Structure 1
Amino acid sequence: MSTQITITLPDEVYQRAERFARLANREVASILADTIQLSIPPVRADILDLEPISDLADEQVLALTDLQMEPDQDARLSELLDRQQSGFLIEDERLELQSLMQIYQEGLLRKATALSEAVKRGLIEPLSE
């Protein structure tokens, strides 16, 4: 299934996509669709159940600025990354690693969004000026 949308791109971005499409002998729309698909990481469906950070109370936002992976997940992630680095990762572990990396990346994005919201609300000072 596909959804058709209309977007406005800066001229320079469209021209780059157009040149690339010509080089690849493909349609610009196809190049842009592939680029978007590859650049947006997958997000677990249960993430949609989370309340937007902008709707949270100050205390909840501040709590999210300290968000970390569960210790057992963090330890397993480190172990799997070490196994991957040494070349001893089996297929089941590769899938587990992908899942843990997704959890890590989603948490990191949520934490960064909470930090931004906390600064915007004046709850904390900007990390750097």
Structure 2
Amino acid sequence: MSNQITITLPDDVYQKAEHFARLANRDLASVLVDTIQFSIPPISQEAAILEPISKLSDQQVLELTELQIESEEDSRLSELLDRQQAGILTESEHSELQALMQIYQEGLLRKATALSEAVKRGLINKLIYSIS
């Protein structure tokens, strides 16, 4: 199934995409579809069913601003990243690393979105909060 949308691109983005499409001998629409498809990371089934941050209560939003990866997962992630950098990561460890990276990235996105929502609602001061 396909959906048709209309978007307005800044001139420089349009020109880059059009130039690339000509160089690749492809139509502009397919270049833009591929670019969008490859730039959006996969989302786990668990993350896909979460309530949008904007629908949460103030308390739930504030709790999410403190979201952190579980300490066991964090330790294992660090270990696997070290093994990857050393070039000794096994295939099964690579799969585990990808899964943990997805958990980490989805959590970070959820936390950042919660921080943005908390600032928007006036629950926290944007000048004193940083993502860690």
Query: Structure 1 length as normaliser, TM-score?
Result: 0.92
Output aligned runs, 1:87-102, within 5 Å: 87-102=87-102
Query: What does residue 9 of structure 1 align with?
Result: 8
Query: What does residue 117 of structure 2 align with?
Result: 117
Paired residues, what number? 127
**Unmatched 5+ residue regions in structure 1?**
none
Query: What does residue 23 of structure 1 align with?
Result: 23
Deviation at 1:25, TM superposition (A): 1.0
Deviation at 1:124, TM superposition (A): 0.5
Cα deviation digits, residues 31-75 of structure 1 (max 9, x gap): 111111111000001212211111111111111000001111111
For residues 44 and 51 of structure 2, the distance between their equivalents in structure 1, rounded to whole angstroms, comes to 15
Query: What does residue 105 of structure 1 align with?
Result: 105
SS at match of 1:124: coil
After superposition, the CA RMSD in angstroms is 1.3
Query: What does residue 62 of structure 2 align with?
Result: 62
Paired amino acid for 1:90: T
For residues 82 and 26 of structure 1, the distance between their equivalents in structure 2, rounded to whole angstroms, comes to 41
Distance 1:77 1:31, change over 3 A: same
Paired amino acid for 2:46: D
Distance 1:111 1:76, change over 3 A: same
Deviation at 1:11, TM superposition (A): 4.8
Query: Structure 2 length as normaliser, TM-score?
Result: 0.90
Cα deviation digits, residues 89-113 of structure 1 (max 9, x gap): 0111111111111110000000000
Distance 1:57 1:11, change over 3 A: closer
For residues 53 and 27 of structure 1, the distance between their equivalents in structure 2, rounded to whole angstroms, comes to 37
Paired amino acid for 2:48: L
Is 1:37 aligned with 2:37? yes
SS at match of 1:60: helix
Paired amino acid for 1:117: E
Paired amino acid for 1:72: E
SS at match of 1:8: coil
For residues 10 and 61 of structure 2, the distance between their equivalents in structure 1, rounded to whole angstroms, comes to 38
